[in-house]
Structure 1
């Protein structure tokens, strides 16, 4: 086979680095975006942000002097406060950057430095005397172990007893239950310690008298029984019945088998109702209140407000980072004294600023399109939600469906009805008798309403709920109702029944 050289012309689609960055920024959540931004700021010295939370704080300089914040929120340095000289070009960063279509102007480093950015406005500087400007010190968190050890120090005097009790405390889980049996704990102890099993039992009995009530239990029945014994003001007959229920018939009680309970206990509805009220005062997880889990909260990307002519959609300025190109480095590049690597970093900074602006503009456009199509939801609630798919928004805005998917993932909207992810407004449809369509979100909202207004003594079954929805013109099967009910974490009819 003879070798030869041939020239061919072909077309292919490639993602430029700028486009790859734009796609990546679009799919990040607010928290991930700020984490990515902090990493980029550490790598690119030509990029800086104006909304640094420490900008309005009093700082201690290297020489020991105190630097107060400038009135406009920026540091009082000659570079930022000195006016431009006559005939000199304005300092970089004084005017907003208006990038081109491709984010690059094709010129040298000097011309590339002519368009750096001040994206966004610097927030109003807070008065140092304001209450909300003072640092708040969080109170120290007390763990379950620390709480129990503190009670042990004032109760147990012997060092040997303290060691044994501390050994049991260390074996408790986050809910306050004893994970290991006393036999297993005793087997782990060295023989030379000469610890008897009865000593561990005595230490556990003393631990179970500590606060919170029910701590040190080895099962749910024992935990509830410990609490019932310590509840004040309970009649003796009712206390005995409640103890008998948690000891022998806790499964029936959890499954609401009231007829079996009344037959086994030989009591009427009133007696069982009083015992049930006693058991419900107990906490099956006594140690959970000492958990150190920090509650996660969501910051909205867009905010929807009611105005006279309809609904107004706006971006949340608190989550929009305010970026600009560093003026000092940009001036060095303009004067031709910068390195070639700095020219590439300047272009990357401009790309990031442009892609950041494009990210929030796209989120705003998608949010406005969603609000336009879900006006009934904002006016009447979830029961008025209409079916909506990604393709409908994509065709309206002239974007790809994958772009809409990235925009609506982990982006949140604050509405008068609460905080919702943008994907919440999209859902499948169910046919109606009139030939129309009903949103699955609206059906879930109706199921919540129906189960919330039902008679506790005669709750609605899935078939009954399906029939009631059918009366409203929504054709839905019983298994579909069961699927939606489970997704809403609503118990089945047998667990919703009350005495």
Structure 2
């Protein structure tokens, strides 16, 4: 084999720590970003929060409407083209450090301009993010998350009622144990025997005693409010509510004792018969007429299948919008102002005292390595602030483009939504398509019609008779509108909805209608029919 030397020129993309961090921060949700900022504040001594007013960087939000220069476009194109392959490239950099241009023996390099002095970008970022006031004042101020956290839980509600019961120490302890064993819906999923065995082990005598106390406690638990709590299954939950109605003995026909009795017999049958509204099989099993079974099913439909629903922690349902859209003007002069939510923008700056101290320190010998390490942390803090700002700038640019494209939605609602794909926004802003995908994931926009994820404004198009396209979101809205206006006695089938859409000039097959209907959580026509 002959050996020789050759010269070859090639190009490859090196994912620097700054580039990786920028891509990672872009795809984080508001909650994840908050955790990331807290972690960085704990790890980097040069980074701090600040409430002081400070000068903005030249490429900040104030420059949003200015044209993007060619160098910035090239940087964004390079950055977001790499985003699609970041996972594979990062793995390669970790497994094969010789192939990485940035991974050295001393860890990632955050070198910037080589300076350790205070720079314009060391000032506070997010100075425009002043906290908005609310209707509370003084020490009582709290945000929506704190209000949700203070909501009474199901267990607390039941424990408070249990205080009014005169029980022995054993029965009181058993009742507390059962209350804490309930799930979020108010059901007791574990059998009493399993609960007793879990506490007593293999002691048969102690298991029997515990089982007695649990049986007594279960009766007490099921007598508490909300009615139906402590049930072991759906049938028992419905029966508890019907028995409570029986005790009321109201004179109106809706709670007629005979009707409640039929409903109780229905709840003693397999629940799949009730779910299918199988009246033919329920009539002989319940020894009731067709009209009585239909009326009883209607009564059961008014009951609460999840007694603990209203006590569920609402904090997990709170969505803090990243972007706020406000309507200005009226008529043909209507416009929509798009701005970032100041509540979610972290206000960070480089600690000027530490940065100045590092600037004035000239270590030599053994201290040179320590000084170099501190300089790396200072540059890391600066890059983190820049990447945070770049993240919000990109979110605002994408949101502004979405509002401009979907202006009809903000004027008329979801029926006016137009088809929109990621590529359109990517081409308009000069960004990579994967960037738009990252920006629109887990980011929310508050609009006059509610709060929506940015991905909500994107949707495929369905063909129309005029040769144009109708947004799938608008089609879903039409289906919802058709179902809301249908007759309860004769609900619309998927075929009928498909024909109605064709009358509107929208080509939508029956299977597509069924898919959209299921996505809207609308039951089939057979289950929507009023008995």
Separation of aligned partners in 1, 2:457 and 2:260: 50
1:326 equivalent in alignment to 2:351: yes
Which of 420, 425, 446 is the aligned partner of 1:414? 446
Indicate yes or no: 2:443 matched with 1:429.
no
Which of residues 312, 315, 335 in structure 1 aligns to 2:337? 312
Alignment of 1:301 with 2:322, yes or no, is yes
The secondary structure found in structure 1 opposite 2:208 is coil
Supply the distance in 1 between the matched residues of 2:307 and 2:374 (Cα, whole angstroms).
59
Does 2:17 correspond to 1:20? no
Change in CA separation of 1:417 and 1:5 when aligned onto 2, cut-off 3 Å: same
CA contact (8 A) 2:227 2:307 kept: yes
Contact 1:97–1:116 (8 Å) recurs in 2: no
Deviation at 1:437, TM superposition (A): 0.9
Residues 353/242 of structure 1: CA separation in 2 closer, same or farther (3 Å cut): same
Range that drifts further, 14-23 or 431-440: 14-23
TM-score (normalised: structure 2) = 0.75
Residue in 2 that maps onto 1:223: 237
Residues 159-180 of structure 1 deviation map (CA, whole Å, 9 limit, x = unaligned): 5555666666566544343434
Q: Please, what TM-score do these two structures have when normalized by structure 1?
A: 0.79
Partners of 1:130 and 1:143 in 2: CA distance? 24
For 1:417 and 1:40, the matched residues in 2 are separated by 36
Q: Any conservation in 2 of the 1:377–1:385 contact (CA below 8 Å)?
A: yes
8 Å contact kept, 1:113–1:330:
no
Aligned match for 2:189, one of 169, 179, 184: 179
Partner of 1:195, secondary structure, is helix
Provide the rounded CA distance (Å) in 1 between the counterparts of 2:222 and 2:46. 62
User: By how many angstroms is 1:383 displaced?
Assistant: 1.2
For 1:254-273, list aligned pairs within 5 A: 254-258=275-279, 265-267=287-289, 269=291, 271=292
1:438 is matched with 470
Match of 1:239, SS state, is helix
1:275 aligns with 296
Cα distance, 1:472 vs structure 2: 0.6
1:480 is aligned to 512
Match of 2:123 among 101, 117, 129: 117
Q: Note closer, same or farther for the CA distance 1:407–1:244 as it changes in structure 2 (3 Å cut).
A: same
**CA 1:347/1:208 → structure 2, altered by over 3 Å: closer, same or farther?**
closer
Would the alpha carbon gap of residues 180 and 9 (structure 1) be closer, same or farther in structure 2, given more than 3 Å must change? Answer: closer
1:489 counterpart = 2:521: yes
Q: Which consecutive unaligned segments of at least 5 residues does structure 1 have?
A: 52-73, 75-92
CA pair 46-458 structure 1, distance change in 2 beyond 3 A: same
SS at match of 1:10: coil
Cα distance, 1:369 vs structure 2 = 1.3
Kindly tell me the number of residue pairs found equivalent between the two proteins.
457
Equivalent position of 1:10 in the other structure: 10
* SS state at 2:337 partner: strand
SS state of the match for residue 411, structure 2? helix
8 A Cα contact 1:96 1:116, kept in partner: no
- RMSD of aligned residue pairs (Cα, Å): 3.6
Tell whether the 8 Å contact from 1:117 to 1:353 is kept in structure 2 after alignment: no
Describe the shift of the 1:201–1:118 C-alpha distance in structure 2 as closer, same or farther (beyond 3 A).
Answer: closer
Q: Indicate yes or no: 2:39 matched with 1:46.
A: no
Q: Which position in structure 2 is the counterpart of 1:243?
A: 264
Residues 160 and 361 (structure 1), Cα distance of their counterparts in 2 relative to 1, 3 Å cut: closer
1:459 Cα deviation after fit:
0.2
For residues 377-422 of structure 1, the C-alpha deviation after alignment (integer angstroms, 9 at most, x for no partner) is 1111111111111111111111111111111111111111111111
